[in-house]
Structure 1
Amino acid sequence: MIKINSLQFVSASVLAVAVGASAVAEDWSDVFAWRDIRSDVASQFNEAGGERTPAHFRASAALDLALFSAANAVEERYTPYFDDLPEASGDPDLAAHFAAAALLQRLYGSSADDAIEARLNAVSEGHSEAAVMAAHQIADAVVDRVMIQAGATTGEVPPYRPFTTAGRWVPTELPYFRGGLNVQPWLMEASTDLRPDGPPALDSQAWADNFNEVMTLGARDSEIRTPEQSAEARFWVSKDWEPLVMQLAERRELDMLDTARVMALMSLATSDAGLATGEAKDHFQFWRPLTAIRNADLDGRDDTEIEAGWMPLLNTPRHPEYPCAHCSYGAAVSAVLSATFTLEDGETVDVYAEDAPDLVEAIADLDAFSLRMSMSRLYGGVHYRFSNEDAEAIGRAAADLALERFGQEVESD
């Protein structure tokens, strides 16, 4: 039996196994096995009423970073995220497994015990006591640093106050994006680092052009939006990026470290892109097309006509419009994937609709598919084109920070 209790990771029964190679194949799938375990134990933790901290909300990125950092500390194949890790030796994959186990135990306590015990019993088979102890030591050092970074905050976010005048009713449903605006970024120095210049002035022609475009193209009863564009709007509402990496990692036969690297780059880039986008939304508080079109008499223009009953194709999200969160996430993922994989001629990767598993889109361009996600928000009537474009710039910048900060291949002497 394997126990996770402070430094007590492995029992005598495992340490007594003969020295030799691991009996478990260490490849790309091990990264996703740990992500599945994290999802399961998080559900158990939440159902049991566990108290969530900022680190819990960033647990997926923390797990990816722990897997990468532990394996890379041993192998030293890529530039590290943490510069102060102790020297490590042994088996890089085993170090990654122990780091994942330690992280989940610290986050979820007893909710993680059974899953961790089963997994570590499997991956430790065939390793010597010395190898297990070496893996444990670097894992502990890695998780110390990951937990500090994942849980770091920058102070309280002021409560949201609905805008109104004295005595006048306004909707009281609170926006849902503000809860994580006080976390310390993974890559940026501050959440304001990637803040865009802002939406166009209401007295500009750019505003009028964008207003009229979304009014006509994004309306529920639009006469110019094609059936294909309507399908795009609905298809891209919610996407899981994990299957993209899984397909490419399997085809390229990536090992555990390379797979963990891609996932860590993507997780940290999307996390910071989301933080920068949320900060900008909170800062600019720009009105959604639904609000602007139903109140077009307030912008002082003759070329933006009011349509009091206008409705978008998609439901309007419950937070400010500018910039587009979908678009920043999509651009960050696209930038990381295009920097780490090259599709062969005729090769595609499949994107699945979460709410309709039978719907599949084959993507043949890793660098450009994020444009489809951005345009879908315009077709859906929930974002202006300028909001999409500025958000894409945020996502690409966050990906650049990730690629520059860590994960670059180290040149051998």
Structure 2
Amino acid sequence: MVAHSAVGASPCHPVGVKVTGPNAVTLLERGGELSPSTPPRCCHGSPAEQRPSDAVDLAVVHLAIYNALAAITGQYQPYGGLTQTASNADASQQAAIGAAAHGVLKGMFPNRSARYQAPYDSFLASIPDDAARAEGIAVGTGAASAMLALRGDDGRSVALAPYVPGTEPGRFRGVNPINRNAQFIKPFAMTSASQFRTPSPPALDSEAYAIDFNESRLLGGAVGSSRTDAQLEIARFYTEAPPRYWQRNLRRFAMSDASLVDQARLMAMLFTVEADAGIACFESKYRYEFWRPQSAIPLAETDGNAATPADATWTPVVPTPNHPEYPAAHGCITAAMAETLKTYYRTDQVEFTLDSTVTGTTRSFKTTQAMVDEVCDARVYGGMHFRNSTLRGAELGTNVARWVLQRNFLAR
């Protein structure tokens, strides 16, 4: 299969994504060299570094790279209304990429500056030391500084009161749930975190809730499930930590024969959309604080619905993430990524393959929607979500992506 850039693909014409090897855009992410691929919350750094802000951090990095190359090539409108231009159109794009990424990471994570310096020096050493390199470094450094200023005090370090789990029917019961701060992070393109808030989840005494309840109960349990081995494989495939899963799999789309600026544009599109979709998703999650199947099924005698049989011994077949159920974050993010790929390639007929370190296997798709459908199924098969949550999450992610991409990353 041959990979195409957005400008090369024609509407309704199938596109195959072929990995052709690393390039300057993706090199900075291999092995975590210049990338914040180790989640900040796992590091012994500043309070800001310990926040779960992976997608936001990657968006800032890739937006700086995109702006630097947009300045050099003049092909695309810069993000954020920034108007920096290169004095030399022949400025080294590779040097600009390295300087932009290094500048952002050093600025966001000053405690890790030493970790980033050696790879950066090595990267620059591979580029001829001439005027083009110097100009590229200047453009990249300027793009990094502008993005850091634009994202200063982005809300990630907001003080949070201790979380009090719910006790009434329908309320999330997790202790010290994660990603509570995401709803307070400044969006990249949305007008507010609540702009695409999902409607309320189904009432506990409704038929819709009973249908979803019983599907998750029958398919997602650890014991006595009607789930097939193939369905369990699908459920487990998508349980890898999302930051590493998406970073590794998304960079494959840049490993193509597209130009550097188009590669940078695609990565900026993907991570910016992912960041805003995550912010919107967790705003809805903590707005409704809906309970997970692992609470709903054992406590079903309290929900007032005769069609939801309780099972005190029921547990999900895979571990449930410690944050509220509705809407499903995997649905939000996957649909946002799918809509971004559809927009970039100008068709939903994109053939690609993803892998998971959990199962050691790959999944191949012929359309972007097929990926979304499978992820929605996976969260039900794993007993982590109700069907409505995955579908509403997918709607949210799609809407966020459309909003972001209709207003950003446009041709000049």
SS in 2 for 1:101: helix
Change over 3 Å in CA distance of 1:172–1:298 after alignment to 2: closer
Identity %: 26
Alignment-derived partner of residue 361 in structure 1: 363
1:292-307 correspondence to structure 2 within 5 Å = 292-307=296-311
Alignment-derived partner of residue 200 in structure 1: 202
Alignment-derived partner of residue 89 in structure 1: 87
Kindly indicate whether the alpha-carbon contact (under 8 Å) linking 1:149 and 1:186 is maintained by their aligned counterparts in 2. Answer: no
| Structure 2, gaps ≥5 residues long | 1-20
Give the counterpart letter for 2:65 in structure 1. Answer: L
Alignment-derived partner of residue 241 in structure 1: 246
Q: Does 1:232 align with 2:234?
A: yes
Kindly indicate whether the alpha-carbon contact (under 8 Å) linking 1:288 and 1:321 is maintained by their aligned counterparts in 2. Answer: yes
Which whole-Å CA distance do the structure 2 matches of 1:204 and 1:210 have between them? Answer: 10
Which whole-Å CA distance do the structure 1 matches of 2:356 and 2:41 have between them? Answer: 26
TM-score, normalised via structure 2 length: 0.82
Alignment-derived partner of residue 62 in structure 2: 64
Alignment-derived partner of residue 112 in structure 1: 116
SS in 2 for 1:111: helix
Alignment-derived partner of residue 277 in structure 2: 273
Change over 3 Å in CA distance of 1:164–1:213 after alignment to 2: closer
Kindly indicate whether the alpha-carbon contact (under 8 Å) linking 2:65 and 2:101 is maintained by their aligned counterparts in 1. Answer: yes
Alignment-derived partner of residue 76 in structure 1: 74
Kindly indicate whether the alpha-carbon contact (under 8 Å) linking 2:34 and 2:105 is maintained by their aligned counterparts in 1. Answer: no
Alignment-derived partner of residue 130 in structure 2: 127
Change over 3 Å in CA distance of 1:301–1:37 after alignment to 2: closer
Alignment-derived partner of residue 262 in structure 2: 258
Which whole-Å CA distance do the structure 1 matches of 2:195 and 2:39 have between them? Answer: 36
Give the counterpart letter for 2:164 in structure 1. Answer: R
1:116-195 correspondence to structure 2 within 5 Å = 116-123=120-127, 125=128, 127-128=130-131, 131-154=132-155, 155-163=158-166, 173-195=175-197
SS in 2 for 1:350: strand
- Rg: which structure is higher? 1
**Residue 84 of structure 1: CA displacement?**
2.9
Change over 3 Å in CA distance of 1:335–1:222 after alignment to 2: farther
Give the counterpart letter for 1:63 in structure 2. Answer: V
- The number of residue pairs the alignment matches comes to 374
| Structure 1, gaps ≥5 residues long | 1-26
**Residue 158 of structure 1: CA displacement?**
3.5
**Residue 409 of structure 1: CA displacement?**
2.6
SS in 2 for 1:351: strand
Alignment-derived partner of residue 10 in structure 2: none
Give the counterpart letter for 1:95 in structure 2. Answer: A
Change over 3 Å in CA distance of 1:132–1:242 after alignment to 2: same
**Residue 295 of structure 1: CA displacement?**
1.0
**Residue 44 of structure 1: CA displacement?**
12
Alignment-derived partner of residue 392 in structure 1: 394
Which whole-Å CA distance do the structure 1 matches of 2:368 and 2:59 have between them? Answer: 22
TM-score, normalised via structure 1 length: 0.82
1:284-323 correspondence to structure 2 within 5 Å = 284-323=288-327
Alignment-derived partner of residue 48 in structure 2: 53
SS in 2 for 1:409: coil
Deviates more, 1:186-195 or 1:336-345: 336-345
SS in 2 for 1:360: strand
Change over 3 Å in CA distance of 1:63–1:84 after alignment to 2: closer
Which whole-Å CA distance do the structure 2 matches of 1:132 and 1:193 have between them? Answer: 42
Higher relative contact order (CA 8 A, sep 6+): 2
Deviations 1:371-410 (A, max 9, x none): 1011100111110111001100111122112312221233
Q: Does 1:339 align with 2:339?
A: no
Alignment-derived partner of residue 211 in structure 1: 213
**Residue 59 of structure 1: CA displacement?**
2.5
Kindly indicate whether the alpha-carbon contact (under 8 Å) linking 1:45 and 1:111 is maintained by their aligned counterparts in 2. Answer: no
Give the counterpart letter for 2:26 in structure 1. Answer: F
Q: Does 1:350 align with 2:350?
A: no
Change over 3 Å in CA distance of 1:363–1:242 after alignment to 2: farther
SS in 2 for 1:159: coil
Deviations 1:185-230 (A, max 9, x none): 1121211111101201122211111112211122223443222212
Kindly indicate whether the alpha-carbon contact (under 8 Å) linking 1:71 and 1:96 is maintained by their aligned counterparts in 2. Answer: yes
Which whole-Å CA distance do the structure 1 matches of 2:375 and 2:402 have between them? Answer: 20
Kindly indicate whether the alpha-carbon contact (under 8 Å) linking 2:197 and 2:281 is maintained by their aligned counterparts in 1. Answer: yes
Give the counterpart letter for 2:195 in structure 1. Answer: D
**Residue 65 of structure 1: CA displacement?**
0.9
Which whole-Å CA distance do the structure 2 matches of 1:48 and 1:370 have between them? Answer: 32
**Residue 175 of structure 1: CA displacement?**
0.6
Deviations 1:164-195 (A, max 9, x none): 59xxxx98841112143321111212111111
Deviates more, 1:203-212 or 1:264-273: 203-212
Deviations 1:38-63 (A, max 9, x none): 55675699998432526974322211
SS in 2 for 1:368: helix
Deviates more, 1:39-48 or 1:148-157: 39-48
**Residue 148 of structure 1: CA displacement?**
2.9
